[in-house]
Amino acid sequence: MKSLAHILIFSLLISLVISNSALANITRYQTPFEQAQWSFQGNLFSCQIEHKIEGFGNIKLKALPGEKLSLVLSADWLNADGATSSIQVVSPSWKNNSDDVFAEAKLFWHGNVATGQQNINPFLEALEQGLAWQADIKPKHSSHYRVNSSPVNTKQVANKFRLCRYQLLPKPFSYVRSLALYFPSGSSEITADHEADLNAIVRYVQADPSITQILVDAHADSSGERLANLVLSKDRADEIASRLVELGISVKMIQARHHGARSPKVSNNTLSGRDTNRRVSVRLIKSPLNSVAVSPKEVNHDSE
C-alpha cells in the first residue's frame, strides 16, 4: 500500500512539474492597462473597434452590411498560416475567478491574420461587461502564444459600435451592384422580395455619391406573342423605375429599357428557363472619378 501511495504522489508531482513547465513556455502579450486604448470608427458602410496589443499586433471587431460580425486578430511578426486558434471571453486578470470562460470562438489563420465569424456576438457583449478577450495561438512547429485584451474603458466604444451597426446599409455594393428581379408569368407586379431589394438599392445609392446612373432592363420569356411580350417587359421596367423614384431616386439617374423576349438569359425551352428569363435587371454605375474623390458619409468617428 505504501508503495502504491508513493507512486501516486510521485505521479502527481510529475504532472505538476509538466503543467508548470507548459505554463512557463507560454509567451504572453497584453498592453499595460495604463497604456491600453480602444478605438472606434464607423460609417454607413462599416463599423470597427480596434485594440492594439503591445508587442504583438491588434485585434478588431468588424461589422459589414449584410454580414455576420467578424473578429480579426493581426500579428505584426507571426505567420501562422493554416493554424486554428481559440479565442475566449474571460474574466479580467485582476479578478479571482480569472479562469472562468464565458464564450469561445475559433479563428482561422491566413498568413499573419486570423479571422472568425461564428459565435462572435458574445465578444461585443463582453466589452459592455468589462470582460477580456484571450486568444491561444499554437502555430505548427512553434511556441505557444497567449494574447489578452485589456478591458479598460470598453463600454463606450461598444455602445458606439452597436449604434453604428444599427445604421449600417442593409446590403453591400457587391450585392446591389447588379440584381435580377424575377416575375410570375404575365405579371409586372412588384413583390415583397422586390421591395426589399429596391430599398437596399436606394439606401446604397443615397449613401454613395459615386453612383451616377441606374440601368433598368426588363425582359419577358418567349410565351405568347412578340408584341405582347414587348409591352409586358415595358410595364415591368416602368414599375421598377417608378418605385425607385417613389423611394427617393432622381428620375434623371434612371435609364429604363425593355427588350421583350429578345435577350433570353437561358433557353426558353424549359419551365425553369422561362422563369429565369422573366426578369428585370437593375445595375448601378459608378463614376471612377467620384469613387476616388469622395469618401462615404460618416456616422461617427471617435477614439477612446
Report how far residue 270's alpha carbon sits from residue 267's, in angstroms, rounded to the nearest whole number: 7
Q: Report residue 71 as a C-alpha cell.
A: 473578429
Pairing status of strand 26-29 against strand 101-110: unpaired
Which residues, at least 6 apart from 56, have a Cβ–Cβ distance to it below 8 Å? 29, 75, 76, 78, 145, 147
Which domains does the chain carry?
27-167 (2.60.40.2540), 173-296 (3.30.1330.60)
The span from the CA of 195 to the CA of 181, in Å, is 10
Residue 295 predicted with pLDDT over 70:
no
Task: Quickly tell me which residue has 505521479 as its cell.
Answer: 11
Residue 295 is classified by DSSP as P
- What is the per-residue pLDDT for 303? 39
Res. 159: pLDDT tops 80? yes
pLDDT at 207 exceeding the cut of 90 = yes
How far is CA 182 from its chain centroid? 27
Cβ neighbours for 18, distance < 8 A, ≥ 6 positions apart: none
- pLDDT greater at residue 9 or residue 127: 127
Q: What pTM was computed for the model? A: 0.81
Which whole number is the average pLDDT over 198-220?
A: 97
**Residue 263: Cβ-neighbour burial (10 angstroms; 0-12, 13-18, 19+):** exposed
pLDDT at 98: 62
pLDDT (average), residues 115-119: 97
User: What's the pLDDT band for 21 if we cut at 50, 70, 90?
Assistant: very low
H helices present in 102-247, as ranges:
121-129, 155-167, 173-176, 192-207, 226-246
List the beta bridge partners of residue 38. 51
Backbone φ/ψ region at 263: left (φ over 0), alpha (ψ -120 to 50), beta: beta
Beta strand 132-137 with 144-148 is antiparallel
Question: Does residue 231 carry a pLDDT above 90?
Answer: yes
Quick one: pLDDT band at residue 304, thresholds 50, 70, 90? very low
Quickly tell me which residue has 417613389 as its cell.
246
Question: Are the CB atoms for 149 and 133 separated by under 8 Å?
Answer: yes
End-to-end CA distance of the chain: 63
